[in-house]
Amino acid sequence: MANIFLLEDDKILSKGIVIALQKDCHTVSAAYGFMEALKQYDKQKYDLLLLDINLPDGSGLDFCKRIRETSEIPILFLTANDTEEDMLEGFGAGCDDYISKPFSLEVLRKKVQAILKRTGSDRTKIRYKNLEVDIDKCLVLLMGEEVHLTSTEYKLLCYLIKNKGRVVTKTMLLENLWDIDGNFIDDNTVRVNINRLRQKLKDERQEYIVTVFGIGYTFGE
């Protein structure tokens, strides 16, 4: 799971990219212009940059060149400029790959996964506020202390995290969570496990598992 910086001036496209990448539990910080990106980029460490080239107040090429002065972070250009000359200019500026507009969000997800895997930046640890989940070790920590979950509670938490940014309905949970005997859990069991999970995560304020009344649940804000 990676921390990704997105510079794209089309707000509708940017929102779509954020939602698509959150499906893979990536954290995405979005900027819509060159100057905004300059101010925002230094606030935290990122694993991958997605940069639009044509911006209203500058160029993604120039932003890429600035980053390359101090960092070898992977950079993927999102652009409608897809001629050979444009691509050569992008690679000359220091990008690692290109994806031409218009593009499929699913193709973008696969490209991001490939770059992160190739560069070793894809993380199996998920951090959100005081909660940390180590997928490889099936370990959940809250403020550094291990939280002991049942198999169903752990699968429930991971499913909500995987779908961060989406509302997960009770029907979706019923279809995707199985008990130890391979039987579907019922609606009451969903509610009971959500309540138990919240208790173990000390989530009285619903910082982690948020109820969307009449529909289901979502993870985080």
pLDDT of residue 182: 47
What count of other Cβ atoms lies within 10 Å of the Cβ of residue 124? Answer: 11
**Cβ(102)–Cβ(120) below 8 Å:** no
Output the pLDDT for position 22. Answer: 78
DSSP code of 142? E
Residue 180 has pLDDT above 80, yes or no: no
Quick: pLDDT tens for 6-29: 999 999 999 999 988 877 767 788
**CA 13 from centre of chain:** 15
Determine the Cα–Cα distance for residues 191 and 198; give it in Å rounded to an integer: 11
Please state the rounded mean pLDDT for residues 194-207. Answer: 93
Architecture of the domain whose range is 125-219: Orthogonal Bundle (1.10)
The dihedrals phi and psi of 132, each to the nearest 5 degrees, come to -135, 130
Q: What is the pLDDT of residue 208?
A: 94
Beta bridge partners of 128: 131
State what percent of residues in the chain have pLDDT above 70.
91
Cα-Cα-Cα-Cα dihedral of 175, 1, 65, 98, to 10°?
-40
Mean predicted confidence (pLDDT) in 184-201: 85
- Indicate the CATH number for domain 3-119: 3.40.50.2300
Q: Is the model's pLDDT at 149 over the cut of 90?
A: yes
From CA 95, how far away is CA 3, in angstroms rounded?
18
Q: Which amino acid is at 158?
A: C
The residue with tokens 């507009």 is: 101
What average pLDDT score do residues 183-193 get? 74
**Sheet strands (E) in 110-161:** 125-128, 131-134, 139-142, 145-146
- Mean pLDDT of all residues belonging to the chain: 86
Return the domain boundaries, the chain.
Answer: 3-119, 125-219
Write out pLDDT tens, residues 100-146. 999 999 999 999 989 988 887 666 678 888 999 887 678 899 999 99
- Looking at residue 84, its pLDDT comes to 83
Q: Looking at the chain, how many residues does it have? A: 221
Residue 161, pLDDT score = 86
Q: What is the mean pLDDT of residues 187-193?
A: 84
Mean pLDDT of 135-161: 87
Tokens 């160029």 -> residue: 59
Q: CA-CA distance, 6 to 30, in Å (whole number)? A: 5
Q: Is 75 helix (H, G, I), strand (E, B) or coil?
A: strand
Burial class of residue 202 (count of CB atoms within 10 Å of its CB; 0-12, 13-18, 19+): middle
For residue range 68-91, what is the model confidence (pLDDT) as tens digits?
Answer: 999 999 999 998 877 888 888 889
d(CA 220, CA 199) in angstroms, rounded, equals 16
Which is nearest to 38 in space by CA: 56, 60, 18? 60
pLDDT exceeds cutoff 80 at 34: yes
Whether 192 shows a pLDDT value over 60: the answer reads: yes
Percent of the chain with pLDDT over 90: 48
Residue 131: its pLDDT value, please? 93
